[in-house]
Amino acid sequence: MKKWFKKIGQPFLRKEEIKNKEAIPTAVEQDEIKDKESIPVVLQEDITNIQKNKKSWFNKLGDNFKKTSSNIRKAIFVKKLDEKSLEEIEEAFLMSDLGVNNTNLLIDELKNKKINTNNNTQENIAEFLEKQFSNINHELNLKPNKELRVILVFGVNGSGKTTTIAKLAKNGKDKKLKVLIAAADTFRAAAKEQIEKWANIIRIEVLSGNIGEDPSSVVFKAHRKAIDEKFDLLIIDTAGRLHNKVELMEELKKITRIIKKNDEEAPHNKILVLDSTIGQNTYNQIDSFHQNIGLTGVIMTKLDGSAKGGSLIGITKKYNLPIHALGVGEKIDDLIPFIPKDFINALLGDNIGEKK
C-alpha cells in the first residue's frame, strides 16, 4: 500500500482515474488569482515525477503534531506492556489533545485487551489504534445517488471553511462532475469575494447573494438552478458562526428547511469544518452543531499548524462521526482524504502499523 505522502496533489483520485485527466495547477495560493487560459493534460509519468519531488505528508504537519508523534513513539517503544509503560502511553496521549475521558477509555481498553507483547508492541498498539476508526466509513462520496448531491458546509469563523469548499469543488470537477457553489455568506463582502476568486481559479460556477440578502433565499435559488440545469454537485457555503450563538444556529436550521422544499432527502451531507489547532475545544463545537443541525461528518483543517492530532481519535471515539478529510495547507490540493491507517502511521512514525 502506498503511503499517504504519495497521494499529495491527487486527493480523492484513484490511480486509474488520473490518466488523461484535465489538471488544474496545484500550486495556487489564496492570493494568486490569475486567469488560466489553458489547462494542461498531465500524463501518468509526469505525475510520478512530480510525486518524487513533493514533501512527505508528515513534513507538512506542524511542529506540535510532530512532537506528539515523537512522544507517543517513545512511549510505545517498549518490550513489554506493563503498568509503567501504560502510564507513559497515557501521558503521551493526554498531551496529544485526546482528552482525559477518551485517554482513560483507551488505556482501559489496552489493559483489558490481550495485546501480544511477545512480538512487536508498537505494531500491536498501532493496530489497536487503527481499529478505533474501523467501524466508520470516512470516505466522502461527491457523486450524486440520484440527480444531484447537496453538501451543506458550516463552521466557526477562521476554521478554513471557504478554502475547504474550494478544495472539495475542485475534487468534484476532477471527477468530471458538474459543480455549483452557493455563496450564502451574505454578511461579509470579503467572503463573497473569496469564494468567487476560488471559483475563478478552478473554473467552477458560483451563485452569490447580495450583501444583506437572506441566506436562505440564496440557497433556494442555487438549489433550483442546480436542479434545473442538471448539476451533479451543489456545495453551499454559509457564514462563519460561533457555536454558542442561538440566532445563527436558527439560521442554519432555516437553510436546511429551505433545501428540503426542493428535495426532501437533501442536504445529503452536513459537514462541520473544524480548526484542528483548537484541540479539545473541537468537542464543544461538535456538541453544539450536532445537537442543533445534526452532522454527517467533519473535515479537520490546519494540520500544518499547531494541531497535536489526538483530537481526531477523540472525535471518532466520542461521536462515531466520519472524518472525511484533513487540510494540510492553503494550496488547492492540500486536502487529503482521511485514511485511518495512514493517519496512525503519521502519528506513530512511518511504517509502524502497516500490515506486512
Q: What percent of the chain has pLDDT over 70?
A: 74
CB atoms closer than 10 angstroms to residue 43: 14
**Rounded Cα distance, 216 and 199, in Å:** 21
| pLDDT confidence of residue 30 | 38
The DSSP bridge pattern shows strands 41-42 and 21-22 to be antiparallel
Position 354 pLDDT exceeds 90: no
Q: Report which of residues 67 and 161 the model is more confident about.
A: 161
Q: Do 222 and 207 touch, CB atoms closer than 8 A?
A: yes
pLDDT at 109 (0 to 100)? 75
Q: Which residue has the higher pLDDT, 271 or 349?
A: 271
d(CA 19, CA 29): 25
pLDDT at 247 over 80: yes
Over residues 164-180, the mean pLDDT reads 97
Mean pLDDT to the nearest integer, 171-199: 93
Residues 80, 115: Cα–Cα separation, whole Å: 10
Give the 3-state secondary structure of 25-75: CCCCCCCCCCCCCCCCEECHHHHHHHHHHCCCHHHHCCHHHHHHHHHHHHH
- Measured distance between the N- and C-terminal CA atoms of the chain, rounded to whole angstroms: 10
Domains of the chain (ranges plus CATH)? 59-132 (1.20.120), 149-348 (3.40.50.300)
Q: Could you report the per-residue pLDDT of 52-90, keeping only the tens digit for each?
A: 333 455 566 767 677 777 787 788 776 677 788 888 888
Average pLDDT, the chain: 78
Q: Which residue has the higher pLDDT, 182 or 17?
A: 182
Flag whether pLDDT at 352 surpasses 60.
no
Across 27-41, 239-253, 263-277, the highest mean pLDDT is recorded for 263-277
Question: Cα 112 vs. chain centroid, distance in angstroms?
Answer: 32
- Reported as a pLDDT band with limits 50, 70 and 90, residue 255 is very high
Please report which confidence band the pLDDT of residue 337 belongs to, taking 50, 70 and 90 as the band edges: very high
What band does 233 get if pLDDT is binned at 50, 70 and 90?
very high
The partner residues of 180 in beta bridges, in order of sequence, read: 205, 234
pLDDT at residue number 215 = 95
> pLDDT tens digits for 19-44?
444 444 443 333 333 333 333 343 44
Least confident of 47-61, 72-86, 294-308, 336-350: 47-61
Q: What is the mean pLDDT of residues 168-189?
A: 95
pLDDT at 67: 75
Q: Is 61 exposed, middle or buried (0-12, 13-18, 19+ CB in 10 A)?
A: buried
**Planar angle of CA 23, 160, 349, nearest 5 degrees:** 75
* pLDDT over 70 at 349, yes or no: no
